[in-house]
Amino acid sequence: MEIKITRRRKLYENHNSMVSNYCYLVQGRIYDESGAWYKKFRFVVSFDGYDLYEAEMTAAEYLEESIAGFTMNIESFENCKAFYEMCKDSIEHYNETFARVA
């Protein structure tokens, strides 16, 4: 099984002029052992400036660490249900928390 991240896109908040939160839409593919079949996924990684301060990292480093932690939850190519639930939950959390229009 191989995991490839195909795209990282910064999302902006509609209601925050200070933009102290960082939100990224991450898209990728999970390939089977032969590399012939794949499943697509996408999820949202969100963190704020305080998280960066505590971790003493740049935003890019923190994003890569968050992606690695998120994709560790993939058990196998055939059994990705829990991972896809986490993906769905992250997108719903972004929509409820950050994407609302004031």
- Dump the DSSP string for the chain: -EEEEEEEEEE--SS-SS--EEEEEEEEEEE-TTSS-EEEEEEEEEEEHHHHHHHT--HHHHHHHHHHHHHTT---SS--HHHHHHHHHHHHHHHHHTS---
pLDDT for 3 beyond 60: yes
Q: Please name every residue paired with 27 in a beta bridge, in sequence order, or none if there are none.
A: 7, 42
Q: What pLDDT, on a 0 to 100 scale, did the predictor assign at position 15?
A: 60
pLDDT for 17 beyond 80: no
Which one has a higher pLDDT value, 50 or 63? 63
Domain residue ranges in the chain: 2-97
